[in-house]
Chains A and B, each alone.
Chain A
Amino acid sequence: MVGLVDVISLGLFAAALRMATPIVYAALGGIFSERVGIINIGLEGTMLTSAFAGVTASYYTGNPWLGVVVAVLVGGLIGLLHAVLTVKFVGNQIVSGTGINIFAMGFTAYMSQIIWGSRGASEGVRGLGTWTLPVIADLPVVGPIIGSHSPLVYLMLVVTVLSYVVLFRTPLGLRIRAVGEHPTAAETAGIDVLRVKYLCVILSGMLAGLGGAFLSLGHLNLFTRGMTGGRGFISMAAMIFGKWMPFGAFGASLLFGLADALQMRLQSLGLLPPQIILTIPYLLTVAVLAGVVGKARPPSDYKPYKRE
């Protein structure tokens, strides 16, 4: 049982924060979208496409930061597509999102085949590397946990705080919440409902894009087929568990990140068959949603909005 004790270490929590990062990004994206009344089930596909786009850009330019920018832009573009389909043409949000997910699987595998001659994985590219925070890295306990990470982990912390400030402290945030909860009230108050919806759904895609960039440039430094592994869906669970609040989603994502980190370590111990251990994060998702759904009150009724 010495092995189990070894699993619980500061390194585990550092890994949890790392594994939580893409989930937090996508969950924040989900929050912005759902706060204006659009379900974005396409987060998974958006992340995957952005992960691919980021690696491709880094592969051709050798600049991983350019890869991040491209990943965010591609995410925003997919967000725009979702917005056009669901806001402008009042299409079904689930159908549009599922379409994005299916497209992403096929498109990235196909392009990977063309560029690298393999559907399974890209060649390795230059990643973002890690930053080591001066002073903080040397602190006891805190240091090993947050002292040394990919820059996108630190950016995630900043984006979480920013999301909170935007949503709950700015005029725009007030309008976003009003649009999702009572679009007609927002419209009669002189707010351009459709514009706010577009903005937030595009932003949602960009945030998921950051999550994708982290997976392929901040974590692995290559693209592998289906590398998101359901994190887009897990992020929706984190969003719901966190009651559509940025800090709530952050906390929930940490929980899923911990499950993921635990799962990796348990695998290396070989106590249980890896197939069973691999299911831990997903089982946790199901358990959390079963416990929460029904009690959690969404910020919108997600009905399409049409002007009179």
Chain B
Amino acid sequence: MAPAVEMRGITKTFPGVTANDDIDFTVEKGEIHGLLGENGAGKTVLMSVLYGLYRPDAGETYIDGERAEIESPAAAMSLGIGMVHQHFMLVPSLTVAENVVLGREPAKNGLIDEGEMLERVRASCTKYRLDVDVEAPIHTLSVGVQQKVEILKALHRGADILILDEPTAVLTPQEAEDLFRAVRSLRDQGKTVIFISHKLREVLSICDRITVLKRGKVVGTVAASETDMGELAEMMVGRRVVYSFEKAEVAPGEAVLSVEGLEALDDRGVPTLRGVDLEVRGSEILGLAGVEGNGQTELVEALMGLREAKAGRVSLCSTDITRASSYERIRAGVSHIPEDRHKRGFIPDFTVTENLILGSHREARFTRRGFVIDYEAAASHSQALVEDYSIATPGVGTHAGNLSGGNQQKVIVAREFDRDPRLVIAAQPTRGLDVGATEYVRKKLLEMRDGGSAVLLVSADLDEIWALSDRIAVIYEGRIVAVREPAETDETELGLLMTGGRRG
């Protein structure tokens, strides 16, 4: 049987970069094939060639054994190739059904045949066992469901080969499990799935075979059953990666952050923090575990002065900061790695230098006569930070938006940690980062802790909480339901606590 996809000698260069360098890539029919590599390894470019978004400089593509010239996504679709992009291609105000049929709407007398449309889309839902409310507008759906809609859209348009680009980057662990079930079910129905990811664990658990890319080249293809995380990581990064950290024994200090009875509303005005009590001491990392949506986001915002506290008290080293502005909190020694780095972490259209002095820009060292910004001082400061934190950037004058995700995060980390904070609030600090950058950020968090800072680590990634925390607090429905030492608990107990199955 001819393979579903065979790409031979694919080369694609962009000005200054060879994104794909003579790549051979074969996917058998009916398998889930992982495409693994760090950010910038060329995974997405290779798949964009397959999907007709880019034309390769050299190389040939065969679909089901036939030579194919794929010049546009439309051509790819007619060959039965569908792609679910990292950023969803769904129109928020339209319904699920409208998004699925968009561009090929069933019509009667010039008007959209609503009944026919719903019927067809529902039929696809049943056929592919994707359970979604087809009449719901997209913007009312969670990302996990939106992703199902994307998959449904591709299948409805006749895709036999489905490309999923970093599908779990935006999902909670529960949603990811759900996705994996759906993908396995599709494979069992004979569909071919290409799964792009940089997360070893999930690639191992869901894929049949895995191809590893590094710097635009194929390192190798292995069967998932014959490899392990260590081997894959080494193939991907080119060296051994540390998965467990040597944590120095440091005695915790005085309480740095004390939260008592904190209450706050969410964006819709619903009480979401319902009396949070929390203490983070110097030289300790307190991991906050919980299923997303239980108040983590609101807690971080309330601690940073981005959300009004309705009741309760927040103190920093026994100074009341409940009513302090964000700027005052920063000046008082609070650093923040925000959950949504594009929205709150940095400004993509600003240069690396400008981003690195944000929040410190009023300090005397960066201004002349306290009035205009001293760009020379700022540039030499940021040059030093770029070196200290090994931020890969063409220069400090580059727009931060042009850096890779990992390096953008490093810019934020460098800016926040350089302030020598008493308290670090790190929200999902490694989300969407590749193995190398993740390892780096985690190491830095530990360094801050060893240096005496208090660290509040909010993460949806239990492994991360587990690896870094000195104490673990569990948040459920806006309250801290338990605080545990890692040694005296296990995943089962945490899981129960996180889902309200047990009270601390």
User: Which A residues lie at the B interface, using CB under 8 A?
Assistant: 165, 169-171, 174-175, 177-178, 181-182, 184-191, 299, 308
Contact = CB atoms under 8 A, between A and B. Distances in A.
B92 A174 contact: no
B89 interface: yes
Nearest to B90: A185
29 contacts: A165-B111, A169-B111, A170-B107, A170-B112, A171-B112, A174-B94, A174-B102, A174-B105, A175-B102, A175-B103, A177-B91, A177-B93, A177-B94, A178-B94, A181-B91, A181-B93, A181-B94, A182-B89, A182-B92, A185-B91, A185-B99, A185-B102, A186-B91, A189-B89, A190-B73, A190-B74, A190-B104, A191-B102, A191-B103
A179 B494 CA distance: 46
B112 A178 contact: no
A189 B92 contact: no
Given A170-B112, A171-B112, A308-B53, A186 B103 contact: yes
Contacts of A189: 89, 102-103
Name which of B73, B93, B103, B104 has the most chain A CB atoms within 10 A of its CB: B103
Given A170-B110, A181-B94, A185-B91, 18 more contacts: A174-B102, A174-B112, A175-B102, A177-B94, A178-B91, A178-B102, A182-B92, A185-B89, A187-B73, A188-B89, A189-B89, A189-B102, A190-B73, A190-B74, A190-B77, A191-B103, A299-B93, A308-B53
B103 A190 contact: yes
A188 B112 contact: no
Interface in B85-117: 85, 88-94, 98-99, 102-105, 107, 110-112
Contacts of B94: 174, 177-178, 181
A188 B73 CA distance: 6
A192 to B, nearest CB: 10
Contacts of A186: 91, 102-103
Interface string B104-142: 110100111000000000000000000000000000000
A23 to B, nearest CB: 26
A175 B105 CA distance: 10
Contacts of B104: 190
Contacts of B77: 190
A176 to B, nearest CB: 11
Contact of B91 (A165, A170, A182, A190): A182
Nearest to A189: B103
A277 B91 CA distance: 45
Interface in B53-91: 53-54, 73-74, 77, 85, 88-91
State the majority secondary structure of interface residues on B: loop
A170 B111 contact: yes
Contacts of A191: 102-103
A169 B105 CA distance: 11
A186 B107 CA distance: 18
Interface residues of B, number: 23
Name which of A170, A175, A308 has the most chain B CB atoms within 10 A of its CB: A170
Which are the 8 A-B pairs with shortest beta-carbon distances?
A: A189-B103, A185-B89, A171-B105, A190-B103, A189-B102, A182-B91, A178-B91, A169-B111
A184 B89 contact: yes
Nearest to A165: B111
A243 to B, nearest CB: 12
Nearest to A182: B91
A165 B112 CA distance: 10
Interface in B274-306: none
Nearest to A179: B91
A170 B109 CA distance: 9
Contacts of B74: 190
B148 to A, nearest CB: 16
Contacts of A299: 93
A173 to B, nearest CB: 8
Nearest to B72: A190
Contacts of B88: 185
Given A186-B91, A190-B74, A169 B112 contact: yes
Nearest to B53: A308
B404 to A, nearest CB: 19
Nearest to A297: B93
Contacts of B89: 182, 184-185, 188-189
Contacts of B73: 187-188, 190
Given A189-B103, A308-B53, A174 B110 contact: no
A189 to B, nearest CB: 4
A164 to B, nearest CB: 12
B85 to A, nearest CB: 8
A182 B77 CA distance: 20
A294 to B, nearest CB: 16
A181 B88 CA distance: 13
A171 B93 CA distance: 15
Nearest to B103: A189
Contacts of B93: 177, 181, 299
A51 B89 CA distance: 42
Contacts of A170: 107, 110-112
Nearest to A169: B111
Contacts of B103: 175, 186, 189-191
A249 B483 CA distance: 56
Contacts of B92: 181-182
Interface in B436-460: none
Interface in B317-362: none
Contacts of A169: 111-112
B161 to A, nearest CB: 16
A178 B90 CA distance: 9
B107 A171 contact: yes
A51 B99 CA distance: 41
A170 B108 CA distance: 9
Nearest to A178: B91
B118 to A, nearest CB: 14
B52 to A, nearest CB: 10
A186 B92 CA distance: 12
A299 B107 CA distance: 24
Interface in B228-276: none
Name which of B54, B73, B74, B102 has the most chain A CB atoms within 10 A of its CB: B102
Contacts of A174: 94, 98, 102, 105, 112
Interface string B481-496: 0000000000000000
B338 to A, nearest CB: 22
Contacts of B105: 171, 174
B19 to A, nearest CB: 14
B408 to A, nearest CB: 21
Contacts of A171: 105, 107, 112
B181 to A, nearest CB: 26
Contacts of A175: 102-103
A33 to B, nearest CB: 18
Contacts of A165: 111
A73 B53 CA distance: 38
Name which of B85, B91, B107 has the most chain A CB atoms within 10 A of its CB: B91
Contacts of B110: 170
A181 B91 CA distance: 6
A243 B85 CA distance: 31
A188 B98 CA distance: 14
A191 B89 CA distance: 13
Contacts of A177: 91, 93-94
